[in-house]
Amino acid sequence: MSDALLDVRDLVVRYGDATAVDHVSFTLAPGETLALNGPSGCGKSSTALAVLQLRRPASGEVRFEGQELTTLSEPELRPIRPRMQPVFQDPYGSLSPRHRIRDAVAEPLRIQGRRPTPDQVAELLDRVGLDPAYGDRRPHELSGGQCQRAGIARALACEPHLLVLDEPVSSLDPSIRAGVLNLLADLQDDLGLGYLFICHDRAVVRRFADRVMEMRDGRVISG
């Protein structure tokens, strides 16, 4: 059996008649960062959504920790979802504006029927470099970088093995990007997380990724 964290074979994603991802294959090892790079519209986000089974692929295989996901029903996927978490580009858009940060961070655990203690939430905020007192705030009371850190804390709540990072620093001020990337690198070192890292910025990709897969028009052109 393969010891890959993620093994994607011949992935095809369609929107109606349009093919957004055209027979894409790749593997990701535990603790590794694979970047998906390429111009706007080449199929990076569609690949990410299909890996997470948030958009069901038209064909192909997505094997996560040895388990083929594409044939599973939504109830069958439920116990697997906590282990593969997304972090999206827009930190404000991915946190509900009405909820305090502490509730946003605790929500994935509550969805699983768990009852996180205030100390557990404070520990998660501390883990991403946020003062636990920020748990009382709402997203609009945080900077973009702080909000993205809260989004990362939320993703970490379920103790995932894979983070799918879709342009996680692209909307951030260049001066705070490095801080968030350093945080992600530290978390990977400490927790052994695998990262599927979607990013159109080649300089960031070169610095951050172990391997780079280049896409054009839904296909892999290198990597």
Residue with smaller CB distance to ligand ATP, 83 or 200: 200
DSSP bridge partners of 216:
219
6 and 64 Cβ atoms separated by less than 8 Å = yes
Strands (E), 75-201: 84-87, 162-166, 194-198
Coil, helix or strand at residue 121: helix
**Among residues 15, 76, 97, 173, the one that binds ligand ATP under rule CB under 6 A:** 15
d(CA 20, CA 46) in angstroms, rounded, equals: 7
Residue with smaller CB distance to ligand ATP, 51 or 157: 51
Binding mask 93-132 for ligand ATP (x = CB under 6 A): ----------------------------------------
- The separation between the first and the last C-alpha atoms of the chain, rounded to the nearest angstrom, is 23
Nearest-approach distance from CB 181 to ligand ATP, in angstroms:
18
Residue with smaller CB distance to ligand ATP, 45 or 188: 45
Contact window for ligand ATP (CB under 6 A) among 14-22, 96-104, 120-128, 143-151: 14-22
Binding mask 46-85 for ligand ATP (x = CB under 6 A): x---------------------------------------
Contact window for ligand ATP (CB under 6 A) among 13-21, 70-78, 109-117, 144-152: 13-21
Coil, helix or strand at residue 156: helix
Instruction: Report the site for ligand ATP in 24-53 (rule: CB under 6 A).
Output: 38, 40-46
Binding mask 146-185 for ligand ATP (x = CB under 6 A): ----------------------------------------
Instruction: Report the site for ligand ATP in 183-212 (rule: CB under 6 A).
Output: 200
d(CA 94, CA 107) in angstroms, rounded, equals: 13
Residues in the chain: 223
64 and 80 Cβ atoms separated by less than 8 Å = yes
Structural tokens at position 192:
């052994």
DSSP bridge partners of 165:
87, 197
The H-or-E segment that residue 151 falls in is helix 144-156
Coil, helix or strand at residue 93: coil
User: Strands 18-28 and 67-68: what pairing?
Assistant: unpaired
Nearest-approach distance from CB 164 to ligand ATP, in angstroms:
12
Residue with smaller CB distance to ligand ATP, 11 or 122: 11
Q: Which residues bind ligand ATP (CB under 6 A)?
A: 15, 18, 20, 38, 40-46, 200
